[in-house]
Amino acid sequence: MSDKLGIRGYDFVEFYVGSAKMVAYWYAKAMGMEITGYMGPETGSRDRISYYLQKNDLKIVISSAVQPGCHEILSFINKHGDGVKRWSIEVDDVEKIFDHAIANGGVISRRPHQIQDNHGTIEQAAIRLYDDTELVYVNRDKYPHIFYPGYEKPIQDIQLHCEDTGLLGIDHIVGNVRENEMDKWAEYFTKTMNFETFIDFKKGDIGTKYSALLSKVVRSEKSAIKNPINEPFVGAKKSQIEEYIEQYHGTGVQHIALRTKDIVKSIRALRKNGMEFLTVPDTYYDALRSRKDIRIKENIDDLQELKILCDRESEGYLLQLYTKPIGDRPTFFFEIIQRAGAQGFGKGNFQALFEAIETDQELRGNLENE
């Protein structure tokens, strides 16, 4: 059900990468997704190739350039490496929400327009987000075919054996911005789309003895869209946000949290499929067993085996784990999350997660401030 602005929920996320075919096959294998759409020279696209992958409500597009004239993709990956170019919101009325956004300070990327083929019509528009990211408004009510006009069934005979990961869709999308930019971008969401600040993590809430960050979580009226925005906070060593901005050469999407109903099953399957996750020390689980407020249906031995983290809130609990960066640069990663009533973001796990991230930063030589 949509809200007053007609926001229904997350639609697709598009990554720009160096080799769409290789990355798409990795997503299909590691994340248990199905490649259901393809756009390339065979379908009339001369300068780029895109693969459309789907699993339940999770929709991912992987695109790369095939000609040197495709400057949009080539300049993006030359600067940022593989990363999220755009993410989208499904809406009732593209023109209505776009006009509201622009009237309230949204920066135009693409005006409302229609894309059509013999199968039907899609309406879309986009505004700028962060340095080089787009936020797309899309309505596909009149398009029953594969994803978007220009996409057809994959021409390749793709048969990959992988474990069923049980991934359901997007829970939230996290952006990293520079110091003193968090409030600006939170305000951008609240003004352009009537979002509200749901949680405000201040100094001392998120950090370790070496590094810290500040974060605001903004969400749409009915919580269909939730977007944490992180900025670095001065610490003794380089924070993960500083490393991201340095390696990504700008601001953008740091990670996407994916929902599951059974995180034990999902993490076990993802590990078998080849996904790498952060390492959590066994002492975390010793402390978890001693906490009297932790009452969960899952076996803590299973959580320890798979290094899954648990946090309790007044409404319930959540289970979560971060992957390691999935590309060559230490920038983008995924979070797997299972909610059992809890609506927060695992505040009780922040120190354990960030210490695990710092361990990997140190291995990369990116922890010390230069």
Average pLDDT (122-126) is: 98
Burial group, residue 340, by CB count within 10 angstroms (0-12, 13-18, 19+): middle
In a domain, 162, yes or no: no
Let me know whether 215 and 79 are in one domain. no
Let me know whether 171 and 134 are in one domain. no
Let me know whether 135 and 172 are in one domain. no
Entry pTM: 0.93
pLDDT tens for 268-294 read: 999 999 999 999 888 889 888 988 777
Let me know whether 197 and 242 are in one domain. yes
Q: Which of 269, 320, 267, 52 is nearest to 164 (CA)?
A: 269
pLDDT at 258: 98
Q: Which of 72, 65, 52, 63 is nearest to 12 (CA)?
A: 52
Let me know whether 223 and 339 are in one domain. yes
The helix (run of H) or strand (run of E) holding residue 364 is: helix 350-364
In a domain, 93, yes or no: yes
Q: Residue 111 sits in a domain of what CATH number?
A: 3.10.180.10
In a domain, 15, yes or no: yes
pLDDT at 3: 80
Let me know whether 172 and 312 are in one domain. yes
Neighbours of 103 (CB within 10 A): 10
pLDDT at 208: 64
pLDDT at 293: 78
Let me know whether 347 and 275 are in one domain. yes
In a domain, 336, yes or no: yes
Q: Which domain holds residue 222?
A: 167-364
Confidence grade of residue 350 (pLDDT, cut at 50, 70, 90): low
Let me know whether 196 and 134 are in one domain. no
Confidence grade of residue 342 (pLDDT, cut at 50, 70, 90): confident
In a domain, 149, yes or no: no
- Is the pLDDT confidence value at 213 over 60? yes
pLDDT at 244: 92
In a domain, 307, yes or no: yes
Which range among 101-115, 147-161, 280-294, 340-354 has the greatest average pLDDT?
A: 101-115
Confidence grade of residue 301 (pLDDT, cut at 50, 70, 90): very high
How far is residue 370's CA from residue 367's CA, in Å, rounded to a whole number? 9
Question: In sequence order, which ranges of 291-335 are alpha helices (DSSP H)?
Answer: 300-306
In a domain, 155, yes or no: no
Q: Which of 326, 89, 349, 105 is nearest to 227 (CA)?
A: 89
Provide the domain count of the chain.
2
Name the average pLDDT for the chain. Answer: 91
In a domain, 174, yes or no: yes
Confidence grade of residue 201 (pLDDT, cut at 50, 70, 90): confident
Let me know whether 131 and 180 are in one domain. no
Which range among 39-48, 256-265, 334-343 has the greatest average pLDDT?
A: 256-265
Domain boundary residue, one of 139, 157, 180:
139
How far is residue 220's CA from residue 201's CA, in Å, rounded to a whole number? 18
Let me know whether 180 and 69 are in one domain. no
Residues 90 and 8: beta-carbon distance below 8 Å: yes
Residues 287 and 304: beta-carbon distance below 8 Å: no
Domain boundary residue, one of 139, 156, 186:
139
Let me know whether 53 and 194 are in one domain. no
How far is residue 44's CA from residue 48's CA, in Å, rounded to a whole number? 10
How far is residue 312's CA from residue 295's CA, in Å, rounded to a whole number? 9
- Six token digits for residue 189: 């969401």
Let me know whether 194 and 336 are in one domain. yes
Domain boundary residue, one of 94, 122, 139:
139
